[in-house]
Amino acid sequence: MKKAIITVVGKDCVGIIAKVCTYLAEHRINILDISQTIVQGYFNMMMITDIAGADCDFITIQSSLDVIGNEIGCIIRIQDEAIFDVMHRI
C-alpha cells in the first residue's frame, strides 16, 4: 500500500467529489477515507487514497488532478502521506 493524501480546496459546487472520484476510479486508485469541512466559507475535502495499484505514476496523477482542479475552480493537491504522518504522529 502506498498512501497519498488528496486535498480539494475551493468554492463548493455540484459534482466536485464526483469528478475527482471518477478520475481516481479510471486510474485504479483506491479511496480509503473521505472527509470534508467548510473553513472560512471554503469547501475543504481530504481523501486518503492508496496509489500502489495506480496505472500511472505520481507526477502524472498530480498533473491530471491539476487540470481537473482548473476545470472545476478548485485547488487539488496530492501529497505523500508521510509528510503528515511525521508531523502529527510520534
Grid-cell match 475535502, residue found: 45
Q: How far is 57 from 63, CA to CA, in rounded Å?
A: 10
| Cα 59 to Cα 56, 79, 80, 84, distances in angstroms | 8, 10, 11, 19
The CB-of-83 to another protein minimum distance in angstroms stands at: 4
**CB of residue 66 vs another protein: minimum separation in angstroms?**
11
- Among positions 62-81, residues that touch another protein (CB under 8 A) are 62, 77-81
Q: Report the distance separating Cα 56 and Cα 39, nearest Å.
A: 32
Q: Which of residues 19-58 bind another protein (CB under 8 A)?
A: 32-33, 35-37, 39, 44, 46, 48, 58
Interface with another protein by CB under 8 A: which residues? 5, 7, 32-33, 35-37, 39, 44, 46, 48, 58-59, 62, 77-89
